[in-house]
Amino acid sequence: MLEIEAIVERIIFRNEENGWCVLRTISGDTDLVVTGNGMTIKEGLRYKFSGNMVFHNKYGEQFKFEHFEEILPDTKSGVIAYLSSGLIPYIGEKTAKSIYDKFGMETFKILEETPERLKEVEGIGPVKFGKMMEALQETKEAKSVIMFFGKLNMTSNLAMRVYQVFKDDSEKIVRENPYILAEEVKGIGFKTADEIAMSLGFEKDDPFRIKSGIKYTLSQGNLEGHTYLPREILVKKSAQVLGVTIEQVESQINSLAFDRFFYIERIDDVDSCYFTNYYKAENFVAGVLTKLASKKYPIKLNIEEEIEEIEDRKEIHLATNQKKAVEEALQNGVTVITGGPGTGKTTTLTTIIDLCEKEGLKVSLAAPTGRAAKRMEEATKRPASTLHKLLEIKPGVSIQEMEELNCDVLIVDECSMVDLFLMHNILKAIPEEIRLVLVGDKDQLPSVGAGNVLKDIIESKIIHVVYLNEIFRQEEGSLIIENAHRINKGIRPILDNKSKDFFFIESPDPTETLNTIVDLVKDRLPAFKNLDSIRDIQVLSPMKKGIVGVDNLNKTLQEALNPKSGDEIVSFGRTFRESDKVMQIKNNYNLEFSSESEIYQEEGMGVFNGELGMIESIDRENREMWVVFDEIKRVEYPMENLSELTLAYASTIHKSQGSEFRAVIIPLHSAPIMLLSRNLLYTAITRASEMVVLVGDRKYLDIMVNNNHVMRRYTGLKDKIITTWEKRKIYGFI
């Protein structure tokens, strides 16, 4: 391992999540790029770096360090620069010069051993002295914590996070129970905490370890969509994770329940383990929905006559169930409207809105994603917003601080995407007197987040549900809608390449499929349908890995559609270029945006999971780039936020929910059986408005059509709706 001493001239990039940084340094007469984990490194200071020279294919020779330590300066200019670097708060250049003039080269010794002597320096009064002493003490404590965790192989960034939570008690608390890190410190999970605990000599059967492992196992279940896990499954999985006996896990589950970390409830004659917040959220949702379900509102309008007038004026015909949906929505506290593609959901919604407005009711429209909200707006010719924007959901803002919605009717589209906590927030924000209309396709994929809300509501048979089952929207020669319904029933789609909008290209070899997809996106579909390769065509793959997985498709399509010609940025293994199609993959409430169109201007904050955009420009010098979402929403991305973006020429089917594209291409090849399911294929096909092209092996198409296995989600909302309804009847509330 080599050692070098260098002055950090500039911090080119630093990831605020993990502390990894790229530094421009001066070592002797040589400029050198240095990389590694260094959250506390400051510009203008000298450090000793321990590591090795490496060669980066794109950026050339670099020094990659594993350890670093600060070198205190030994010249007047160096001491003054150090003191005024910002490392010690409340000391600017003027104060730094005064301190040096007083103590000279003894300055660092004074700061370390007798900092109270700073009172002797001209210009440092009692108030400033008090603040400086607090800052010096905190800096000293922070360095001690970083050194302690450094011996446990923790990055300085994570160590600083621990210090920010526990301050000078950090070492004491972690020595007593290192597993508290997994609960209290962002960026530290059970596995990291477990490594620290093992380094500190904790035993495998330590109660702290077993409790933390149980919580970790249940939280993994939540990430898989479950709101609870059956006790038997939780015990077995926890024992496997921890490498301990079932009996040892059982005893700690009882302890967690006693301490109110868990709720244990009997569901389907099985003990079921919840985290407290999931248990309370399900109970709250069940309570509000059953209360709404018991409400009936009088209507002044003659609904039958009004529908006839709309049919005559718009020259349309509403099916029986569409008329029923309109009537239910105007009169009930809560109504669910569900139907597949082409069954008239849009016509039904616009009719509901027309009559609500004629009745003098204020209507709000919302959907889970920006693209779904935009589609809703285009279809209804009324403003629609994302649920996050409507509810003003932001990190650090409690549910109690959310303002009550100002509307008489709330219509929420794409409800299959709504998870338990989003539904909880919706119901928390609505006024007492409201008509809530939930619209969605019950056969779409469930939400990414925990819960199976729409399915549970429908299957409870307590909430008013209207099924739209008559197909309207299908031109002659069109097969998209017919095939979507065939697949949903387990019937092989019609593969007639004389069709104008549904095609199957036989391609048993994955590499051949990849090449065919590139040809389709780049040349054939744009020529055939006058489509834009980037804006109008979306490749949807069931999987991320493999030759026709999302990751490889994106790299290949990027090279074909947007080869390097100008500036690009490499971040977290991804290359971004101007004009690339990208997707935001996590909610970020702090990114600022500006939107401008012919009819309005808006500035705000927040870019959300699933939003699609294009890279407008890249500034390599300042490591920044600008992305435009939905052609009007312009966002500046600093380097530390690029991990939230991914290329989006191809995306997973799950990520496409709530979106609609003119053309969709779907590769069909070998994948884990849970990814070759009927509802995944159905969801992908229903994302297309004008064309679907399946490319691959026919046998995998048959597997997907016949595979009706849906991964079971352990949720208790259906049972809670039923039992809450029964209690309301018993107590005379219904």
Mean pLDDT of successive 10-residue segments in the chain (734 residues)? 89 76 86 85 86 80 87 85 74 89 90 88 87 79 75 73 86 94 90 93 95 97 96 97 96 90 91 96 98 95 95 93 97 97 94 97 93 89 90 64 88 96 96 97 92 98 96 75 94 87 95 98 94 96 96 97 84 85 88 72 80 89 82 84 92 91 97 92 95 97 93 95 94 81
- Asked whether the beta carbons of 409 and 385 are under 8 A apart, the reply is no
56-72 residue pLDDT tens:
776 778 999 988 888 88
Q: Which one-letter DSSP state was computed for residue 332?
A: B
Token pair listed for 3 = 């050692």
> What pLDDT, on a 0 to 100 scale, did the predictor assign at position 589?
80
> What pLDDT, on a 0 to 100 scale, did the predictor assign at position 141?
73
**Looking at the chain, how many residues does it have?**
734
The fold adopted by the segment(s) 1-70 is OB fold (Dihydrolipoamide Acetyltransferase, E2P) (2.40.50)
Q: Do domains 156-258 and 282-474+716-730 have the same CATH topology?
A: no
Class of the CATH domain delimited by 282-474+716-730: alpha beta
> What pLDDT, on a 0 to 100 scale, did the predictor assign at position 125?
87
Give me the residue label for tokens 């199609």. Answer: 581
Dihedral sign of CA atoms 96, 102, 103, 104 in order: positive
The whole-angstrom separation of Cα 575 and Cα 59 is: 13
> What pLDDT, on a 0 to 100 scale, did the predictor assign at position 19?
73
594-609 residue pLDDT tens:
877 655 577 888 888 8
> What pLDDT, on a 0 to 100 scale, did the predictor assign at position 427?
97
Characterize the bridge pairing of strands 612-619 and 650-652: unpaired
Q: Specify the CATH architecture of the domain 156-258.
A: Orthogonal Bundle (1.10)
The whole-angstrom separation of Cα 192 and Cα 238 is: 17
Q: How many Cβ atoms from other residues are within 10 Å of residue 643's Cβ?
A: 16
> What pLDDT, on a 0 to 100 scale, did the predictor assign at position 113?
86
> What pLDDT, on a 0 to 100 scale, did the predictor assign at position 600?
56
The whole-angstrom separation of Cα 241 and Cα 220 is: 11
> What pLDDT, on a 0 to 100 scale, did the predictor assign at position 520?
98
Domain definitions of the chain by residue range:
1-70, 156-258, 282-474+716-730
> What pLDDT, on a 0 to 100 scale, did the predictor assign at position 364?
97
The whole-angstrom separation of Cα 483 and Cα 474 is: 11
- Asked whether the beta carbons of 512 and 641 are under 8 A apart, the reply is no
| Closest by CA position to 371, among listed 609, 539, 537, 578 | 609
Token pair listed for 623 = 């490591």
Token pair listed for 188 = 């530290």
Secondary-structure percent of the chain, ordered helix, strand, coil, rounded to 5: 45, 25, 35
How far from chain centre, in Å, is Cα 335?
28
| Closest by CA position to 177, among listed 204, 206, 205, 157 | 206
> What pLDDT, on a 0 to 100 scale, did the predictor assign at position 18?
65
Amino acid, single-letter form, for residue 643: S
Query: What phi, psi does 123 have (nearest 5°)?
Result: 100, -10
Dihedral sign of CA atoms 180, 182, 186, 191 in order: positive
Strand partners, 2: 51
Stretch (H or E) spanning 61? strand 60-71
The whole-angstrom separation of Cα 103 and Cα 109 is: 9
